[in-house]
Amino acid sequence: MQNDEKLPEVNIHHRPIVRWTLLFAGTVFVGIGILGIFLPLLPTTVFFLIAAWCYARSSQRLYDWLHHNRYFGKYIKNYRQGHGISLSGKIITIVILWGGILYSIFVTEMLVIRLVLVAIAIGVTIHVAVIPTHRES
């Protein structure tokens, strides 16, 4: 897709208050998505998808920017095309996840919290493992 091509699902809302609210929400979701790149247990793609939905109803320019961004666009593109996550992305995700979980377990004294953290880590690891692996061509 070329940078100047308009994506068909953009339908800008006509009421200014709705448009500005969606614009603000989309920007917040982009920020949370960026945090999700670095923080374990915080998803990334879902927040970029929500931001794309908000931008599709508030700003053609920001919608295009998000889809064509060299850092964020690949999350949306790979998801929409059903390609999944790259092997390196899976490895990085799982390593950061377990690093954060093990640190949290180390600093927590409550057994119940430790067990919940391990259960969450196992669940997220399984989830990441079953997502299709995207192979760069």
Chain mean position to CA 130: 17
Q: Do 95 and 69 sit in the same domain of this protein?
A: no
109 — pLDDT class (breaks 50, 70, 90) = very high
Reported pTM: 0.60
Give DSSP secondary structure letters for 39-98: STT--SHHHHHHHHHHHHTT-HHHHHHHHH-TTTHHHHHHHHTT--EEHHHHHHHHHHHH
Q: Do 76 and 90 sit in the same domain of this protein?
A: no
Query: Could you say which DSSP state residue 4 is in?
Result: T
Total count of residues recorded for the chain: 137
Q: Do 32 and 75 sit in the same domain of this protein?
A: yes
Query: Could you say which DSSP state residue 37 is in?
Result: H
Say which residue, 118 or 1, is predicted with more confidence: 118
Q: Do 89 and 71 sit in the same domain of this protein?
A: no
Q: Which helix (H) or strand (E) holds 133?
A: strand 133-134
Percent of the chain with pLDDT over 70: 91
Q: Do 104 and 125 sit in the same domain of this protein?
A: yes
Lookup: tokens for 49: 């998808």
Q: Do 100 and 75 sit in the same domain of this protein?
A: no
In the prediction, which pLDDT does 81 show?
Answer: 79
Residue 10 lies in a domain: no
Does residue 58 have a pLDDT over 50?
yes
Q: Do 71 and 28 sit in the same domain of this protein?
A: yes
Max Cα–Cα distance, the chain, nearest Å: 55
Q: Mean pLDDT lowest for which of 48-52, 85-89, 99-103, 106-110?
A: 85-89
Domain count, the chain: 2
Residue 1 lies in a domain: no
Does residue 84 have a pLDDT over 70?
yes
Does residue 4 have a pLDDT over 70?
no
Q: Do 69 and 89 sit in the same domain of this protein?
A: no
Q: Which residue has the tokens 């949290």?
A: 104
Say which residue, 64 or 85, is predicted with more confidence: 64
Residue 8 lies in a domain: no
Residue 11 lies in a domain: no
Does residue 52 have a pLDDT over 80?
yes
Domain containing 26: what range?
Answer: 16-80
Give me the amino acid identity at 122: I
Residue 114 lies in a domain: yes
Residue 52 lies in a domain: yes
Angle at 76 between CA 61 and CA 70, to 5 degrees: 65
